[in-house]
Structure 1
């Protein structure tokens, strides 16, 4: 199927499919002589997996990491999707019930306790999502998060100041080349800082840089220090990783 046919079938935009191809998430198996993308049945099955994960609010970088993992199993993933959707449906049913009660309470028909007003809200991590990360997730990022979580408040504040300082330094350099000596010196500081939180191989470091662009939450957070900083850091991290491989 051509890209427009897939887009119409699934109900997503052609631009979205082009983006998935550009970031290596879903690459069509073939092209026509004119250069148009051709999607195979295997491509469509993978697209279904991607959209299940998107429905469950997984970022594209995490989806790419999981579905391209050598240990990824499609049937296991489908079972996981099913369980997560049941969990999500249960939470939504509880929240709808709370909304209905709140409307009746506002009309004076019933009285709600303080506890009842917040039934259905659950901001804890979904255990099925945790299972997905454990099966197919990024071990380096998970270890880094755990390391930061074990720090004291003062240690976290000191780490945050150091990180912000490096962000600011790189923001001043972003108008130049990511392979300049100044940019590479600053990105080396970034690499060494990350390795204080958890072991990052050069390949993982390069992958993290790509995540800065693929995941809009990273992009928005980093670009607060200067427009285009996330892209500059991605490029500088890729240069550093490629240059320092033995």
Structure 2
């Protein structure tokens, strides 16, 4: 059976050798070994690697991916079909968003009134709810968050936004001032971030906070939302959470 070395896999996929080694250490992708102890990737390992890369693109954390792929009930063909459907939906959503952007450009050029332009046709708020339900629906913390936030008024959300802006603003200021994520001052700000989640959404202990840090870095949407306050703030916060 033909197999590939770790360098061959790195060249073909663009995944660095160090990352492949790290995934092996995590038990996420552990290929067979040659008699000399070198990693050798067979068809099964390559298909598993493809699943890892697809799921990373879909925003899943490494721990979520590992648990899913190691589940005895995991069916690769079924997973691929579901992922294809998800990506098709994402492509359709992208097309609608592009059309919405074109409408906004037309409105800016005064070729169409913003009142007439279909500026919001590309947005489907329920999609985010469905995505959250599919991803975390079995997690008691998701249920707790859903229960709490269902009672929030517009004023409650405004207060939360103000509190969130304050925490991220302090973190951004510390980062710009050159403070290291490992310093007590920055770690205290990371603790404020944890307590913000604990106060508004669900009981968030430090272990769960560390898992959130992985999500913030693995899902570009979370990264972008945090980096709005300052470029690189997501990585800065995650480093403070971990140390």
What is the rounded CA distance, in whole Å, between the counterparts of 2:153 and 2:70 in structure 1?
36
The 1:4/1:163 distance shift into structure 2, 3 A limit, reads same
What is the rounded CA distance, in whole Å, between the counterparts of 1:84 and 1:216 in structure 2?
18
What is the rounded CA distance, in whole Å, between the counterparts of 1:88 and 1:223 in structure 2?
25
User: Does 1:223 pair with 2:223?
Assistant: no
The 1:60/1:131 distance shift into structure 2, 3 A limit, reads closer
1:59 Cα deviation after fit? 0.8
Q: Which residue of 2 aligns with 1:5?
A: 8
1:53 Cα deviation after fit? 3.5
1:89 Cα deviation after fit? 5.6
What secondary structure sits across from 2:74 in the alignment? helix
1:60 Cα deviation after fit? 4.0
Q: Which residue of 2 aligns with 1:46?
A: 48
The 1:38/1:216 distance shift into structure 2, 3 A limit, reads farther
Deviation string for 1:136-179 (max 9, x for gaps)?
x7653564366445421111111011011000101121221223
Q: Which residue of 1 aligns with 2:154?
A: 153
1:220 Cα deviation after fit? 2.3
Q: Which residue of 1 aligns with 2:187?
A: 184
Figure out how many residues of one structure are paired with residues of the other and give that number.
Answer: 209
Contact 2:6 2:20 in 1 (8 A): no
| TM-score, normalised by the number of residues in structure 1 | 0.63
Contact 1:28 1:38 in 2 (8 A): no
Contact 1:80 1:128 in 2 (8 A): no
Q: Which residue of 1 aligns with 2:135?
A: 133
What is the rounded CA distance, in whole Å, between the counterparts of 1:168 and 1:91 in structure 2?
32
Q: Which moves more between the two structures, 84-93 or 152-161?
A: 84-93
Runs of at least 5 residues in structure 1 that lack an aligned partner in the other structure = 97-116, 240-246
Q: Which residue of 1 aligns with 2:145?
A: 144
What is the rounded CA distance, in whole Å, between the counterparts of 1:21 and 1:144 in structure 2?
36
1:86 Cα deviation after fit? 4.9
What is the rounded CA distance, in whole Å, between the counterparts of 2:32 and 2:154 in structure 1?
52
Runs of at least 5 residues in structure 2 that lack an aligned partner in the other structure = 96-117
1:215 Cα deviation after fit? 2.0
Contact 1:84 1:128 in 2 (8 A): no
The 1:90/1:156 distance shift into structure 2, 3 A limit, reads closer
Contact 1:3 1:14 in 2 (8 A): no
What is the rounded CA distance, in whole Å, between the counterparts of 1:127 and 1:227 in structure 2?
27
Q: How does 1:79-228 map to 2 (within 5 A)?
A: 79-83=78-82, 85-86=84-85, 123=124, 124-125=126-127, 132-134=134-136, 140=141, 143-144=144-145, 147-148=148-149, 150-174=151-175, 175-196=178-199, 197-228=201-232
The 1:31/1:183 distance shift into structure 2, 3 A limit, reads farther
